[in-house]
Structure 1
Amino acid sequence: MNPSGVQQQVKARSVAGPFDWYRNINKQERRTFWSCKIGYGLDGMDTQMLSFVIPTLIALWGITTAEAGLIHTSTLIASALGGWIAGILSDRIGRVRTLQLTVLWFAFFTFLCGFAQNYEQLLIARTLMGFGFGGEWTAGAVLIGEVIRAQDRGKAVGMVQSGWAIGWGLTAILYAVLFSLLPPEDAWRALFLLGIVPAVFVIFVRRLVKDPEIYQQAKAAQKTEAPSHFYEIFAPGMLFTTLRASLLTTGALGGYYAITSWLPTFLKNERGLSVLGTGGYLAMVIFGSYIGYVISAYLTDLLGRKKNFILFAVGSFIIVLLYTQLPVSDGVMLWLGFPLGFFASGIFSGMGAFLTELFPTRIRGSGQGFCYNIGRALAAFFPLLIGLLSQKIPLGLGIGGFAAVSYGVVILAALSLPETRGKELEAQ
């Protein structure tokens, strides 16, 4: 064979296909990947149930929109605390064991929501569910981030994150089926009762998935050294990183909540659009979310973590401007649902990998859990602030203003943080 032919073959082998990273991981890594992806999907399924049943509960129990909003806010605040605690636990008792506990927790309390007899009982059960919902994200993100090699970490973690959109879509299907077969007063309970299904998943995790080798090495080293403590993320060498990473998550989550919490109300009440109540619009948003997660997963390895955050932050803000400033019809709104889901959800694909790479192994769970969930806690107040501000200025202006500030914070935080693409993790 001539030299040029050999060079062409070598070049062909060096061009990696989009799924070569998956083919190259071993059996244990694949089990970890699927356990985290399925876990995220089940988390998304249980978490999204409330948004589907709230209209029914408003009609059956006569609760106000303020009371309904309190359930959402209390769930988010509890999830922030649960995520932080889960991060600390994952450093102490292991990534896999923490994942098991968080899945069991949110499955049990979602199931319990189906037995609520009044608003107060539902509020308590749903708030308690939030601890597990937030904790599962932290445990899963740390686990998958540590088992995948550096050059493919962004793709793998982002693909895991896409499981959320699948769970969201599954909830939409279950809602449609149950509410077509059962009367509303029984259907909403049946939906929550199905939330126990993720508990079965824990059996699979317990039997087949192990803690990452790098974590096991770090724990072994701690037997001869001083044990790690969660407050190390606030030590002089780590404090600035922790603060900047927290700003990044606050901006991304704040922008997401500003868009998803108030935009439908604005479009329905102030623009008079009816498409928002259709399954087609919701399906378009969910489909856009899934594609956004997947594309962002590849871009975060291709472009780098920082450039990817900036790209999706700018895209999200542009979508908000289109929604709030341009006169749009139902048909246009239907198609805009795709880029809305694409950018607003896709920005999170690179988050898990980036936070994994910012913190050393001994405090990775604590750092990742704190940064993501303090961002969630602070962002949980954004919908409330927009609502208060809308009493003095147009709602669309409030949404746009908060989104601009939020995604501006994402860009500034991303620019100030180090680029970590390709970073090898160390057992320290």
Structure 2
Amino acid sequence: MFQWFTQLTKSEKRTFWACFSGWGLDAMDTQMYALTIPTLIALWGMTRGEAGILGTTVLIMAALGGWAAGILSDRFGRVRILQITIAWFSLFTFLSAFTNSFWELMLTRSLQGIGFGGEWAVGAVLISETINPKLRGRVVGALQAGWAVGYGIAVLVTTILFDYVEQAIAWRVLFALGIVPAILVLWIRRNIEEAPVYVKERAKAEKNHDTVSIWEVFYRPSRATTLKAILLTFGIYGGNYVMITWLPAYLKLVLNLSINNIGGYLAINILGSFAGAFLNGWMADAFGRRKTFMIIACCQAVAVGIYTLAPINLAVTLVLGFVLGTLQSGTAAGTGAYIAELFPTRIRGSAQGLCGNAGRALGAVMPTMVGLISVRMGLGAAMGVCASAAYFLVVLAAFMLPETRGRDLNTVPDATEAIETNGSASAAPQRTNP
């Protein structure tokens, strides 16, 4: 399952570590909020609904940031925009440490979300275009393990801080540490180059004075693929963000665990997330992208239902937390390679940013729904119902999308060319020639 790493070239390995680290540090900064929800509820008197709104706002802004960063990466390069997004989310995580109210935190977290969505979109495209098609599923899927590493670092630092520092100060120190990922920008600047497929496409565009419209992802025949891919990511992130956002609060407020015990339970869940990234990559390359999404989503819906709705004891909860992490990471890990394989190079960044992050934005409604309906049915029941419904959408979308396993990114048809080939040139989008 891990032999693929030895088959990578030196350049591919550097790109992998840059994207892996960027995603991991992105996760560290993002998950700091989920880990401080109980503290902010206690200190500021926030309601669960307000806590959910904060989480949702970040994800909506991530959608905008992802699409914008994707468009810019198509025009100015993946590597350059990747650096900017990492610096961006680091800065606004740091500034969150100095907020004093719900509205101030909403502002800094919303701006942090722009970088969060942008980093994922650009990093996923960069690694997808760099890696050999035969290994792409496993390599790009493995990036999701970076999320588990970053989440684990956030949990470890949070546990230590809240053990030794008063909680009114500890959460501020935690956010202040969010500036650390900015250091990665310096390494990327010196060691990472653009993928050949992107360089070739940009040279062609410059020669032909070809400017890509930001709306080209909605032109025929890309439009149907775009909407189906958004539905896929909506289901994936809708279900995942329910658990990511509310699991720490569930363990504390429903199961009444201490801070130290919560850290242990989350550690098991994070280990599962780490394993799930590699599981997805192996399955996607072995059985295909679509089957992998459908199988893992069905299993996750069942696991979430048992975890939040069944009368299980703490020992079973602990073990099942590993399974939840594995399947949760398993659904998300496949999106980077799959979306990249669905679209041509000229709009790949834009499509990755839009499809991946529009799904995040729509899925962001789910944490808010949990916060609102938990008042009537309880937090655990609300989490189970919302997450399971979201995973049903994953199965539906995967059923409608095409299989792309092993696709050469140099041969993905351009939307305009496909339309002209089908004899519908009149419907083709017009390219701008200045």
TM-score in terms of structure 1 length: 0.90
Q: Deviations over 1:165-204 (max 9, x none)?
A: 0000001111122223322232222211111111111000
2: CA distance, partners of 1:288 / 1:235: 40
How many residues are paired up?
A: 410
- The answer to whether the 8 A contact 2:38-2:249 is kept is no
Determine whether 1:297 maps to 2:281.
Answer: yes
Aligned to 2:422: none
Determine whether 1:242 maps to 2:226.
Answer: yes
> Would the alpha carbon gap of residues 181 and 297 (structure 1) be closer, same or farther in structure 2, given more than 3 Å must change?
same
Secondary structure of the structure 1 residue equivalent to 2:198: helix
Determine whether 1:420 maps to 2:390.
Answer: no
User: Percent of pairs identical after alignment?
Assistant: 47
Which residue of 357, 361, 371 corresponds with 2:355? 371
Gaps of 5+ in 2: 415-434
Which residue of 66, 77, 102 corresponds with 1:119? 102
> Would the alpha carbon gap of residues 273 and 323 (structure 1) be closer, same or farther in structure 2, given more than 3 Å must change?
farther
TM-score in terms of structure 2 length: 0.89
2: CA distance, partners of 1:28 / 1:142: 16
Aligned to 1:283: 267
- The answer to whether the 8 A contact 1:230-1:367 is kept is no
Amino acid at match of 1:24: Q
Aligned to 1:8: none
Determine whether 1:223 maps to 2:206.
Answer: yes
Determine whether 1:24 maps to 2:7.
Answer: yes
Amino acid at match of 1:409: L
1: CA distance, partners of 2:70 / 2:229: 15
Aligned to 1:357: 341
Determine whether 1:318 maps to 2:321.
Answer: no
> Would the alpha carbon gap of residues 261 and 100 (structure 1) be closer, same or farther in structure 2, given more than 3 Å must change?
closer
Which residue of 53, 61, 77 corresponds with 2:44? 61
> Would the alpha carbon gap of residues 118 and 387 (structure 1) be closer, same or farther in structure 2, given more than 3 Å must change?
closer
Q: Deviations over 1:34-62 (max 9, x none)?
A: 00000011101111111222322333333
Secondary structure of the structure 1 residue equivalent to 2:405: coil
Deviation at 1:349, TM superposition (A): 1.1
- The answer to whether the 8 A contact 1:273-1:329 is kept is no
2: CA distance, partners of 1:119 / 1:401: 28
> Would the alpha carbon gap of residues 275 and 297 (structure 1) be closer, same or farther in structure 2, given more than 3 Å must change?
farther
Aligned to 1:70: 53
2: CA distance, partners of 1:47 / 1:195: 9
Which residue of 212, 224, 237 corresponds with 1:253? 237
Secondary structure of the structure 2 residue equivalent to 1:103: helix
Aligned to 1:167: 150
Aligned to 1:184: 167
2: CA distance, partners of 1:133 / 1:231: 22
Secondary structure of the structure 1 residue equivalent to 2:403: coil
Determine whether 1:136 maps to 2:119.
Answer: yes
Gaps of 5+ in 1: 1-17
Aligned to 1:151: 134
> Would the alpha carbon gap of residues 399 and 184 (structure 1) be closer, same or farther in structure 2, given more than 3 Å must change?
closer
Secondary structure of the structure 2 residue equivalent to 1:117: coil
Q: Deviations over 1:372-407 (max 9, x none)?
A: 111111111123334444566666555444334322
Amino acid at match of 1:425: L
- The answer to whether the 8 A contact 1:41-1:167 is kept is yes
Secondary structure of the structure 2 residue equivalent to 1:332: helix
Q: Deviations over 1:252-275 (max 9, x none)?
A: 1112233444566667767x5648
> Would the alpha carbon gap of residues 58 and 275 (structure 1) be closer, same or farther in structure 2, given more than 3 Å must change?
closer
Which residue of 14, 19, 23 corresponds with 1:40? 23
Deviation at 1:325, TM superposition (A): 4.2
2: CA distance, partners of 1:357 / 1:155: 14
Which residue of 295, 312, 319 corresponds with 1:335? 319
When Rg is computed on C-alpha atoms for both structures, the one with the higher figure is: 1
Amino acid at match of 1:89: L
Deviation at 1:151, TM superposition (A): 0.6
- The answer to whether the 8 A contact 1:273-1:330 is kept is no
1: CA distance, partners of 2:167 / 2:227: 46
Q: Deviations over 1:14-47 (max 9, x none)?
A: xxxx344322222111110100000011101111
Secondary structure of the structure 2 residue equivalent to 1:352: helix
Aligned to 1:14: none
1: CA distance, partners of 2:34 / 2:370: 19
- The answer to whether the 8 A contact 1:77-1:377 is kept is yes
